[in-house]
């Protein structure tokens, strides 16, 4: 009989522990716990998984002013060695007003804000010097939030609630994302109304996705048809209310003098080829961000829901889990997820869900033009959102302008 006592005690302890995981007692503001029956973290109300006593026990302890943490940067940026693409460029120390020199990795002349190729300390060191009419932050945070809300309202081609049924399943903590464990047995997309894909901008976007070699180090060789598809996509998106809002805003900010100048710049920054691997021109901003690439055995880029859905439908993408689900109750929404792409893992892959191609293209372009290499704080439907962009620093086009290296949603922020 005595031998049973430890087992009984252990069972009672186990029941008490399990019961504690159904309450917020002593658990207020703890991190997400996937073993718990319900949650007590700051975002549980957003995900609908709070314990029943959450409001009673925890709401008074919340600090609503505390911003949510940003999602982790892409693996390529975390692992970049000193002197690599994403390291801090040279300084403007003693270089303000110097003449443009295409051999310099960054610039300190009066026009560098216009071309998005200033050194990171340009504003602090040169912004108040005589002869500089505006700084790299000439577009204010308030202006960015205003234009992003206008773009959000103009996205008439976005998916409606009934167009997509999403099965996000298990949410994990950021620290668990490195485990490479598939915690979601079902696909992410239960249903997508593919009539969306017949809309002109969707169709033009999808035509571009099969134009690339996903492995870096293999040169991209685009023929006349592929180049024509780029022009067709640009023509389609420029005809939308979304890009008309962005074009009007940027011209009002004196960034472009005409629509054609804007279109030409979009084509260069997004579709211009450069080398991520060896000497071959093997990459572009569009390929990286929207189609996805494989570098050093990992998925890089791949931040588009349409691409994800189509690859998942073909059995090439296996959805593993997610670490962030945005606050929007309609589309577009934001999801940061883990997945396997035909044998290669993506640890943190953030993407808009249900947005039109022109919406993503416009927001990423806006942030790259207004805040290249910086956090770009926007507002969508009254909720804050941040986008991170990085320029490609190893090669340039037209007066030292830089190509897009990457662009992606990092989190909501305040």
Q: For residues 404 and 372, what is the distance between their CA atoms, to the nearest angstrom?
A: 9
* Residue 404 near residue 397, CB atoms below 8 Å: no
Q: Is residue 54 part of a domain?
A: yes
Q: Is residue 231 part of a domain?
A: yes
* pLDDT tier for residue 342 given thresholds of 50, 70 and 90: very high
Q: Is residue 357 part of a domain?
A: yes
Q: Where are the alpha helices (DSSP H) in 288-409?
A: 305-313, 357-370
Q: Is residue 3 part of a domain?
A: no
* pLDDT tier for residue 339 given thresholds of 50, 70 and 90: very high
Let me know whether 54 and 157 are in one domain.
no
Q: Which of left, alpha, beta for 263 (phi over 0: left; psi -120 to 50: alpha)?
A: alpha
Domain count along the chain: 2
Let me know whether 215 and 318 are in one domain.
yes
The predicted structure's pLDDT at residue 53: 73
Let me know whether 29 and 154 are in one domain.
no
Q: Is 303 among the catalytic positions? A: yes
Q: Is residue 123 part of a domain?
A: no
Q: Is 107 among the catalytic positions? A: no
Instruction: Tell me which residue of 163, 412, 143, 408 sits closest to 301, measured CA to CA.
Output: 408
Let me know whether 53 and 191 are in one domain.
no
Tell me if residue 402 falls in helix, strand or coil. strand
**Average of per-residue pLDDT across 122-151:** 75
Q: Which of 295, 322, 346, 402 is catalytic?
A: 346
Q: Is residue 367 part of a domain?
A: yes
Let me know whether 336 and 241 are in one domain.
yes
**Average of per-residue pLDDT across 355-382:** 95
Q: Is residue 129 part of a domain?
A: no
Q: Is 346 among the catalytic positions? A: yes
Q: Which of 303, 322, 401, 402 is catalytic?
A: 303
Let me know whether 404 and 304 are in one domain.
yes
The residue that leads in pLDDT, 298 or 106, is 298
We report the CATH number of the domain holding residue 17 as 4.10.410.20
Q: Which of 288, 295, 322, 402 is catalytic?
A: 288
Q: The domain containing residue 31 runs over which residues?
A: 13-61
Q: Lowest-confidence range among 4-13, 104-113, 117-126?
A: 4-13
Let me know whether 146 and 278 are in one domain.
yes
Q: Is the pLDDT of residue 142 over 60?
A: yes
Q: What is the pLDDT of residues 180-236, one digit of tens each?
A: 999 999 999 999 999 999 999 999 999 999 998 888 878 778 889 999 999 999 999
Tell me what the pLDDT averaged over the chain comes to: 82
Report the b/e string of 331-351 with b at 16+ CB within 10 A: bbbbbbbbbbbeebbbbbbbb
Let me know whether 232 and 329 are in one domain.
yes
Q: Is residue 205 part of a domain?
A: yes
């Amino acid at each position: 009989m005595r031998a049973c006592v430890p087992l009984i005690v252990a069972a009672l302890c186990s029941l008490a522990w399990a019961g504690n995981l159904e309450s917020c007692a002593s658990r207020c503001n703890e991190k997400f716990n996937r073993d718990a029956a319900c949650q007590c973290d700051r975002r549980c109300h957003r995900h609908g998984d709070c314990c029943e006593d959450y409001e009673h026990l925890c709401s008074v302890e919340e600090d609503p002013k505390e911003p949510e943490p940003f999602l982790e940067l892409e693996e390529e940026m975390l692992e970049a060695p000193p002197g690599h693409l994403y390291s801090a460029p040279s300084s403007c120390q003693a270089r303000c007003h110097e003449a443009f020199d295409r051999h310099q990795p960054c610039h300190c002349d009066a026009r560098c804000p216009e071309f998005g190729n200033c050194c990171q300390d340009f504003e602090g060191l040169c912004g108040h010097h005589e002869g500089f009419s505006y700084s790299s932050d000439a577009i204010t945070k308030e202006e960015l939030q205003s234009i992003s809300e206008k773009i959000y309202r103009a996205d008439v081609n976005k998916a409606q609630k009934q167009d997509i049924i999403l099965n996000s399943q298990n949410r994990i903590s950021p620290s668990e994302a490195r485990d490479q464990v598939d915690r979601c047995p079902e696909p992410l997309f239960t249903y997508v109304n593919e009539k969306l894909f017949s809309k002109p901008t969707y169709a033009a976007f999808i035509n571009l996705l099969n134009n690339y070699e996903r492995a870096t180090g293999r040169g991209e060789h685009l023929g006349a048809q592929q180049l024509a598809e780029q022009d067709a996509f640009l023509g389609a998106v420029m005809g939308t209310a979304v890009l008309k809002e962005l074009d009007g805003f940027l011209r009002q900010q004196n960034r472009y003098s005409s629509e054609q100048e804007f279109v030409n710049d979009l084509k260069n920054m997004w579709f211009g080829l450069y080398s991520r691997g060896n000497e071959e021109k093997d990459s572009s901003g569009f390929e990286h961000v929207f189609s996805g690439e494989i570098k050093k055995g990992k998925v890089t880029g791949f931040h588009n829901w349409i691409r994800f859905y189509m690859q998942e439908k073909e059995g090439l993408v296996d959805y593993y889990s997610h670490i962030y689900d945005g606050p929007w109750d309609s589309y577009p929404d934001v999801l940061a997820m883990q997945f396997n792409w035909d044998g290669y893992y993506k640890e943190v892959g953030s993407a808009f869900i249900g947005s039109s191609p022109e919406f993503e293209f416009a927001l990423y372009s806006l942030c790259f033009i207004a805040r290249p290499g910086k956090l770009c704080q926007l507002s969508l439907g009254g909720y804050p959102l941040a986008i991170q962009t990085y320029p490609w620093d190893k090669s340039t086009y037209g007066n030292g302008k830089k190509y897009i290296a990457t662009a992606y949603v990092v989190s909501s922020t305040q």
